[in-house]
Amino acid sequence: MHTSPDPAKFYLLATLLAKDRVITNNGRALLKELILRRDKRLLMLLQDFETTHLSDVFVNAIHALIETEAHALYLELFEQFPLEVAKSLSKIEREANELNNKKSLIYGEIDFQYFARVLRKINPTKGCKFYDLGSGSSKALFVARFLYDFKCCCGIEILGGLNEAADSIVQEFRRNFAKTLDASFRQDVHVECASFLDTDWSDGDVVFANSTCFEDDLMADMGKQAEKLKPGAFFITFTKGLGSDAFEVLERKRYCMSWGTATVFIQARKRHDGTSAYHADLIEIIDDSSYDDDFDNGVPGNCTHAALSLLPPLYEKDANESGDGGMHFFDLGALLPRSVHSGFRIEACEGANQPVRSPR
């Protein structure tokens, strides 16, 4: 006889998964919300679990559910501050202060799903500290906050308008969202208006910089400062690595972001004697291979579509001239399937100022 799965059993399972660090405490809290709502997807999953066992596919499905729930909260939190609003806040301030030629201030945002995927590979432990250097309207901070048990998620942003927006989002989170997450620790989020070159973030365990547009000297100064992090600390950068011998690159892979794709570098601080401080493997994620560095291995369909829709401007504009739109052009070559590529060698690597096409 068919019986409906017992949600209490599922909560017990979620607690065990959290204990074994398969999911986070915040992940368990989000599952609890789904249990209370008797979410159909969850009940179906539980039914499958009762007839099979704890497989990678099951664990992956649990993570997908947690991420969907976190994403819904994230969209609600940022309802008043979509990408376009943050972009225009950045633009207004840059124009008012004649900063349009500062490439490092060009605005772009992480994509929730792909950034969640990067964090999941690292699987940060409870009580770690997360920093976003150049935190914009705080999108990356809240992917980290909703999904992981960080002691604190701290953002440092140089533009006042963006930081004010981020601060109002933090207040809204405290008022209406924090209570949905695990109650056993403070769900701290903090944003600060400053240059990350003038602030101390040496206590970070996971540090992120959406560095696609950072100039070489800014990148070098940030890399130097990153050497103050403790051995084993992670540093995630986009498009270029830190370029410091004090770090080892654990992985570089392409992911979709708000402007197209970016190569994501996951780096770890070495020990002071130069040996590796990271002995585990990054968490393997099902279906991650399609984002391998080499575009011949295939690209996600929606990205390819986005790439095609952006194709004409790639050839017409210099990333430096195009303001925020420039973010769209850096990595486009990597998105194009062979059929589109053939006949041209696209030299528009990430960070290149002038995308060029030349006949093969």
Ligand X SMILES: C[S@@+](CC[C@H](N)C(=O)[O-])C[C@H]1O[C@@H](n2cnc3c(N)ncnc32)[C@H](O)[C@@H]1O
Q: Where on the chain is the footprint of ligand X (CB under 6 A)? A: 90, 104-105, 107-110, 132, 134-136, 139-140, 156-159, 162, 195-197, 210
For ligand X, give the closer residue by CB, 270 or 328. Answer: 328
Residues near 333 by beta carbon (within 8 Å), at least 6 away in sequence: 295, 341, 346, 347, 348, 349, 355
Cβ proximity to ligand X, 35 vs 140, nearer residue: 140
Identity of the residue, 54 or 92, whose beta carbon is nearer to ligand X in the bound complex: 92
Q: Give least dist CB 99 to ligand X, A.
A: 9
| Min separation Cβ 157 and ligand X, Å | 5
**Least Å from the CB of residue 74 to ligand X:** 12
Q: Are 86 and 162 in contact (CB under 8 A)?
A: yes
Query: H/E element holding 83?
Result: helix 83-96
Q: Ramachandran region of residue 326, left (φ > 0), alpha (ψ -120 to 50) or beta?
A: alpha
Q: In the bound complex, what is the minimum distance in angstroms from residue 223's beta carbon to ligand X?
A: 13
Q: How far is the CB of 284 from ligand X (least distance, A)?
A: 25
Residue 131 burial (CB count, 10 A): 29
Q: C-beta of 193: minimal distance to ligand X in Å?
A: 9
Q: Cα dist. 305→139, 308, 314 in Å?
A: 24, 5, 14
- The tokens for 242 are 């830190």
Task: Quote the least distance from Cβ 285 to ligand X, whole Å.
Answer: 20
Torsion-angle region of 34 (φ positive above 0: left; ψ -120 to 50: alpha; else: beta): alpha
Residue number of the CB closest to ligand X reads: 134
Of 49 and 214, CB closest to ligand X = 214
Length of the chain: 360
CB of 159 to ligand X, least distance (A): 5
Q: Which residue's CB is nearer to ligand X, number 182 or number 324? A: 324
Nearest to 177 by CA among 157, 201, 203, 153: 153
- Which contacts qualify for 97-106: CB closer than 8 Å, 24 or more apart? 100/323, 101/320, 103/213, 103/214, 103/215, 103/320, 103/326, 104/134, 104/213, 104/214, 104/215, 104/218, 105/158, 105/159, 105/213, 106/213, 106/323, 106/324, 106/326, 106/327
Q: Which is nearer to ligand X, 134 or 355 (CB)?
A: 134
SS3 132: strand
CB of 262 to ligand X, least distance (A): 10
Which CB sits closer to ligand X, 187 or 210?
Answer: 210
Q: Give 20 or 217: the residue with its C-beta nearer to ligand X.
A: 217
At 109, the amino acid letter reads E
User: Cα-atom radius of gyration of the chain, to the nearest Å?
Assistant: 21
- Beta strands 188-193 and 152-157 are parallel
Of 54 and 197, nearer to ligand X (C-beta) is: 197
